[in-house]
Structure 1
Amino acid sequence: MKLSAAILSATAIGLSAVQVANAQQTQPACSSVYTRKELLSLTASEWSLYKSILTAMQRDGWFAWFSYLHNTWFGSIHGQSQFFPFHRRFVYEWEKTGKRYNSAFAQPYWDEMRDYRTPASSQVLTSNWVGGNGQGTNRCVQNGLQAGWTMTYPNSHCFSRSFSNNGNPTSWYSPEYIESVIQRSADMTAFRPGIEYSLHGIVHLNMGGDMAQRYSPNDWIFMLHHANLDRLWWQWQSGHNHMWTMDGPNSDGNAISINSNIAYFNEPIRNVMQLGYGQMCFQYSSNPIRRRNLDASTTQKISAALPQDVLSEWFPDTAKSPAAAVATVDSAVAASGKPIPYPGTLTDDWISKQHLDRAAVRRVEADARSFVDAMKKAKYNSPH
């Protein structure tokens, strides 16, 4: 995948960005902002409350309704630039529905990059949280949040998951690669496929069952997953001077802009572009402005371990940082970690069912493999 090198450093956000934001923003600033937390950071009382809310939402048909909407509008919200604004608005609508049951509800996210090496072993996929793989012929899930649920859309069936690779999904995408996509993407035309055809697709496919269908909101992992993808979009927006970047094709084939309407919701994309304004009165727990997917020690390790030409190609922001030129790590840190594995690939059958551009998907996957090759050649070992 060719990604433009015209990247601005995260540290360049200043008065000019504020002036642009003020010029573009037509929504009032929120009087208060609530926080979407990473799932495993919820307190026991928060998780207990959320489980009761989600159970009530299933009882009252909301899982079926959101699955119906996603299925109905599927072709208008994937494979082009509606992807991010639609799903931001969609997850917010879900969250707003949950708040009708209790105003304390805030949709969490799952930081899937943390679990990218061995997804099936994630704590998120245990009985204490959202449950694991389905069992039996119909792959019915027997533990966790949705254990034993009967879903009603598109027909009556047990809630199911069918992990790929015989229950042991292949590796997902590393924090380093996702950070590289964020740093290298100069516009939505690059950023959207870089995320949609990598982390987005592989999680849907690997979870299988309901999550691998067009009606994937039957699985609450859908909301955890898309809240995380929205968090990544916000990182790219807020930390890379892309607050108002919206380009590429719309679902009607015309060029998209912030004044285009969001599919189904019939309101302009500009309404959801900036968190903290209008209805978007939330923030992400791990994302103050300019925050990265990589912690400071990992960023320092990348800076010290990679030659300047490799940094410039794959982490242009890091390469431009003065700290990158002088960063050092002790021998114990430099020797820690393991090589980044190749991520799994999307199957032709899944790509076809999703009506995606196969060539575009394969370009993203080839880019990810080239990234892994470059890291291996540089003898970079990831601490993740």
Structure 2
Amino acid sequence: MKFSSVLMSAAAIGMAAVGINAQQNQPACSSIYTRKEILSLTSSEWNLVKSILAAMQRDGWFRWFAYLHNQWFGSIHGNSQFFPFHRRFVYEWERVGKMYNSGYIQPYWDEMRDYRVPASSPVLTSNWVGGNGRSGDRCVVNGVQANWMMTYPNNHCFSRNFGNNGNPSSWYSPETIQNFIQRDTTMTQFRPDIEYTLHGVVHINIGGDMYQGYSPNDWIFMLHHANLDRLWWQWQQNGHLWTMDGPNAGGGSISLDSSMPYFNEPVRSVMQLGYGNMCFQYASNPISRRSLDPDMDQRLAAALPKDVLAEWFPETAKTEIANITDNIVNSVNSAIAEVSEIINSKPFNPIPYPARLTESWIKMHGFDTAEVRKVENQSRKLIDILNKAKYRSPY
């Protein structure tokens, strides 16, 4: 299953039509598969993934995707091609995996749930993707890519070099990401809010191959970008399904008809899940082993004044719990009282500031340092507000 033969068959991949979307002008998918959070995979699903990853490494696919990402690096970062290109890129990876076994579905890693102490995540253990590279040569010796030798851009051991001397600093909390999803109204806002925060700090703090332009050498790349794509889809469903504005690769303004780098397909072809080749969805059920209750909206509404809630979390402010009056609060049933008791029973644990993007990362991507720091500082302002209100995060 060499990548050359699969590329020859790319045009043959298609989906049966059950309808046409007017904006996209593509057929609705006849069936839709679900991308799951990695820790919710069954043993048989994980064993299938592991076997296919080994085969893709053997046949040169890790090298190929690392090469593509590195070659087009300047065109797919720092502009509005970031989300559409990476949706198409992860889908292409998944499509190749399905050539080995149609049951292959790319999982995602909900990294925000592990934001406080990333290195303690069960995802970064030998049972899953493995941990930090060993002292000295930074070669990874456990997990799904244990002891692999990579061949792009040269022969080297597969490596990771966790930030902060092996104990990565906090990355971005679910509350911060929810703030972006609820407040941002344009891609010009949403793209840098994600790219300068969660996107960058995960790459940087995993380090090694993940720090480079050829980061798809590390399968965490696919887990990470599937998660970022999931967040984009959440934002799209918040009234921004066809929102695509801001700069295009190479200058000018992007539109739905702009061509994605390398793929030479219009941006509109990946905008709506469930149409064309985007025949997947993301699992919406809580991850049982990591689910938390009560939910974040209830906690935010209980902690923040209504005007502050409306400014930073406008969608949450519209919910019933955010608008109940004191009289109603006094008469609600015992279930609500139990929720409040749960919220306040645990000691207050402030949300830590997340890691910042390094100067070398900013330079590597050609970002405007002042714009990066503006986004970072705005996120820290939110953290200050939440901590001052003694908001108790469930995460």
- Fold-level similarity (TM above 0.5): yes
Give the aligned residue type for 2:254: I
The equivalent residue for 1:5 is: none
The equivalent residue for 2:193 is: 194
Q: 8 Å contact 1:171–1:341 — kept in the other structure?
A: yes
Q: 8 Å contact 2:293–2:394 — kept in the other structure?
A: no
The equivalent residue for 2:297 is: 299
Question: SS at the partner of 1:330?
Answer: helix
1:349 aligned onto 2:360: yes
The equivalent residue for 1:286 is: 284
Give the aligned residue type for 2:201: I
Superposed displacement of residue 379, structure 1: 1.5
Give the aligned residue type for 2:342: A
Q: Give the unaligned 5+ runs of structure 2.
A: 1-19, 330-335
Larger Rg: 2
* Correspondence 1:255-270 to 2 at 5 A: 255-270=253-268
The equivalent residue for 2:320 is: 322
Spell out, residue by residue over 1:35-89, the C-alpha distance to the aligned partner (whole angstroms, 9 max, x if none).
Answer: 1110000000111111000000000000000000000000000001000000000
Equivalent-residue separation in structure 2 for 1:267 and 1:295 (angstroms): 42
Q: 8 Å contact 1:30–1:276 — kept in the other structure?
A: yes
Q: 8 Å contact 2:199–2:228 — kept in the other structure?
A: yes
What is the alpha-carbon root mean square deviation over aligned residues? 1.7
Spell out, residue by residue over 1:83-132, the C-alpha distance to the aligned partner (whole angstroms, 9 max, x if none).
Answer: 00000000000000000000000000000001000000100000000000
1:125 aligned onto 2:86: no
Q: 8 Å contact 1:68–1:215 — kept in the other structure?
A: yes
Q: 8 Å contact 1:132–1:143 — kept in the other structure?
A: yes
Q: 8 Å contact 2:180–2:193 — kept in the other structure?
A: yes
Spell out, residue by residue over 1:209-253, the C-alpha distance to the aligned partner (whole angstroms, 9 max, x if none).
Answer: 000000000000000000000000000001x11000000000121
Give the aligned residue type for 1:377: K
Q: 8 Å contact 1:82–1:250 — kept in the other structure?
A: yes
Question: SS at the partner of 2:141?
Answer: coil
Question: SS at the partner of 2:34?
Answer: strand
Worse overlay, 97-106 or 134-143: 134-143
Identity %: 68
Superposed displacement of residue 335, structure 1: 4.0
Q: 8 Å contact 1:235–1:287 — kept in the other structure?
A: no
The equivalent residue for 1:18 is: none
Q: Give the unaligned 5+ runs of structure 1.
A: 1-20
Give the aligned residue type for 2:33: Y
Superposed displacement of residue 149, structure 1: 0.2
Equivalent-residue separation in structure 1 for 2:146 and 2:240 (angstroms): 41
The equivalent residue for 1:216 is: 215
Question: SS at the partner of 2:281?
Answer: strand
TM-score, normalisation: structure 2: 0.88
Superposed displacement of residue 295, structure 1: 6.8
The equivalent residue for 2:79 is: 80
Equivalent-residue separation in structure 2 for 1:270 and 1:334 (angstroms): 46
Higher relative contact order (CA 8 A, sep 6+): 1
Equivalent-residue separation in structure 1 for 2:160 and 2:181 (angstroms): 30
Q: 8 Å contact 1:303–1:319 — kept in the other structure?
A: yes
The equivalent residue for 2:332 is: none
Q: 8 Å contact 1:175–1:294 — kept in the other structure?
A: no
The equivalent residue for 2:67 is: 68
Superposed displacement of residue 25, structure 1: 2.6
The equivalent residue for 1:37 is: 36
Give the aligned residue type for 2:389: A
The equivalent residue for 1:379 is: 390
Q: 8 Å contact 2:21–2:275 — kept in the other structure?
A: no
Spell out, residue by residue over 1:241-298, the C-alpha distance to the aligned partner (whole angstroms, 9 max, x if none).
Answer: 100000000012111011101111001000000000000000001279xxxx997622
The equivalent residue for 1:367 is: 378
* Correspondence 1:86-125 to 2 at 5 A: 86-125=85-124
Equivalent-residue separation in structure 2 for 1:91 and 1:295 (angstroms): 32
The equivalent residue for 2:239 is: 241
